Amino acid sequence: MPPQEQVPAVYHRRVGDIIVTAIGDGHLDGSMAVIQNIPPEEAAQMLRDAFRPVPRRTAVNTFLIHSGGRTALVDTGCGTGLAASAGKLFQNLKAAGVAPEAIDTVLLTHMHPDHSNGLAEGGRALFPEAELVLHEAELRFWHDDSAMARADESSRQRNFQAARDQAAPYRDRTRTFQGGEVFPGVTAMPFPGHTPGHTGYLVASGAETLLIWGDIIHLPEIQIPRPEVTMAFDIDPVQAEATRRRVFELVASEGLAVAGMHMHFPGLLHLTRRGTGYALLPEAWATAL
């Protein structure tokens, strides 16, 4: 009988003495209406030209960091409530041989539901030994009653209330930061705009680095050649665009390797300058660590 399902979405990459493991959570299909600052048909044609589905399909990745005898997880995926095509984190962790109890730190890039809905279920922490670590502005924003009141009903439930419900079981073991080292070999780099506390994490060991850049982009085929394209999910679209341009310049000028939450699995790439813009260079699969 031919195979009936795909192999587990697990991929390891060495960064000096640190091992980063990409763990796929699946994908989300959604409306083209959330893509902003570009005519809808032009956005659709860019996806077709790249042989991508229309309407859009967005990958969801998380990343384990094995450093200093400890294990951190960056983001927790979609959980069970967003789509059947997502929420694959825990089955892929199992395939990687990592129990949720073995994770001592959960680092969040931000608290949108496709990044934090895997934290808890039914009021129970799904990572029972983990400290929750995130930017102080992120935790503050989603617990701001006035900001919640200004949001539409969908966002109040899907974003604000969900963020509060997910964080609640960790209330006695939550640590916030403004920047600096947050885990052995891992430095927080605030990238605000998409959300107020949106954060990337620079993994460094010896002479090697890898930037986990969070949601700098959602649709690589569109937003790398057209960084002015924003998403309806951006809390501050103007700042999100400015941050994206700043991060693109940083990555290209310093030759940083990048891991992205919404890049095609395993989500590893470089950017290079092309004319007045940038081009994506997916990192080649490595068979050895």
pLDDT (0 to 100) of residue 150? 96
Cis-peptide, bond into residue 3, ω within 30° of zero: no
Contacts of 179 (CB under 8 A, 6+ apart): 187, 188, 189, 190
* Over residues 270-275, mean pLDDT: 95
Query: Distance from CA of residue 261 to its chain's centroid?
Result: 3
pLDDT of 163 > 90? The answer is: yes
- Residue with tokens 């496709």, as numbered in its chain: 114
Domain boundaries along the sequence of the chain: 10-282
Cβ distance 280 to 271 under 8 Å?
Answer: yes
pTM: 0.97
* Over residues 163-176, mean pLDDT: 98
pLDDT of 194 > 90? The answer is: yes
In this predicted model, what pLDDT tens digit does every residue of 109-142 receive, in sequence order?
999 999 999 999 999 999 999 999 999 999 999 9
pLDDT (0 to 100) of residue 81? 86
Instruction: State how far the Cα of 286 lies from the Cα of 150, in Å rounded to an integer.
Output: 47
pLDDT of 180 > 90? The answer is: yes
Q: What's the whole-number average pLDDT of the chain?
A: 97
pLDDT of 44 > 90? The answer is: yes
Contacts of 186 (CB under 8 A, 6+ apart): 65, 67, 72, 107, 201, 202, 203, 204
pLDDT (0 to 100) of residue 266? 98
* Over residues 74-90, mean pLDDT: 97
**Cα–Cα distances in angstroms (integers) from residue 229 to residues 3, 236, 260, in the given order:** 39, 13, 17
- Residue with tokens 């705009």, as numbered in its chain: 193
Fold of the domain spanning 10-282: Metallo-beta-lactamase; Chain A (3.60.15)
